Amino acid sequence: MGIARWYDETILPKVISLGCGSPEVDELRREVVPLAQGAVFELGCGGGFNQQHYDTLAVTSYAGIDPNGRLLEAARKRARDRGWEVDIREGRGEDLPFPDSAFDTIVCTYTLCSVDDPARVLSEMRRVLKPGGRILFLEHGKAPDSGPARWQQRIEPVWKHIAGNCRLTREVSGTIRKAGFEIEPIGQGYFEKAPKWAGWMEWGAAKHLGA
């Protein structure tokens, strides 16, 4: 096993759990995830951080993908335990293995920062989302202030290699809006317990306006 593979399989999951599974981050998830309803698709579902926050009675079915196949069986079990119809697959956001207009809600938390092609991922999400459906998002990204933004540019080349391809300089709401969604903001701001270069958060809903 090479060093890179060893790091990705052994160390990276611990790094992600530390950053994305903290109680403070969990508080933000509680503002977004319970809004999901109907047929739900979650991008990057393998970590299971969102599972406890869904309104079980509002969700009729649950689908998801994650590139880390080792995490998926646990995610499937958690979803089945909630009594949902479950379809969780290994895959990438750039090529979603689901038909057009299949979902009422898409949940995307701390995932757009790490995909290879965010525009293509959002195009795919728009394809599989029903007109009038919503993406519920919670993401970190490019800081609006020049000082933190400059640090993000300096740190990102190293950061993306140790944090699972996580990019610090990607816009959040602007990128989603360009993909043809209407943003319904819930909140934004710097995360108090993180340095500003890593702590700019935006969360809300993005509505599919149709063709």
Domains of the chain: 3-208 (3.40.50.150)
**What pLDDT does residue 209 have?**
83
Q: Is 171 exposed, middle or buried (0-12, 13-18, 19+ CB in 10 A)?
A: middle
pTM attached to this predicted model: 0.90
CA 187 vs CA 169, 184, 204: distances in Å: 19, 10, 7
The answer, yes or no, to whether residue 6 has pLDDT greater than 60, is no
Q: Phi/psi at 5 (nearest 5 deg)?
A: -65, -40
The answer, yes or no, to whether residue 28 has pLDDT greater than 70, is yes
Higher per-residue confidence, 1 vs 109: 109
Q: pLDDT digits over 113-158, tens only?
A: 999 999 999 999 999 999 999 999 999 999 999 999 999 999 999 9
Average pLDDT of the chain is 89
**What pLDDT does residue 16 have?**
58
Structure tokens at 208: 């599919």
Spatial contact of 98 and 63, defined as CB atoms under 8 Å apart: yes
**What pLDDT does residue 193 have?**
82
Structure tokens at 120: 């293509």
Q: pLDDT digits over 88-99, tens only?
A: 999 999 999 999
pLDDT band at residue 78, thresholds of 50, 70 and 90? confident
Spatial contact of 75 and 66, defined as CB atoms under 8 Å apart: yes
Distance (Å, whole) CA 157 – CA 67: 22
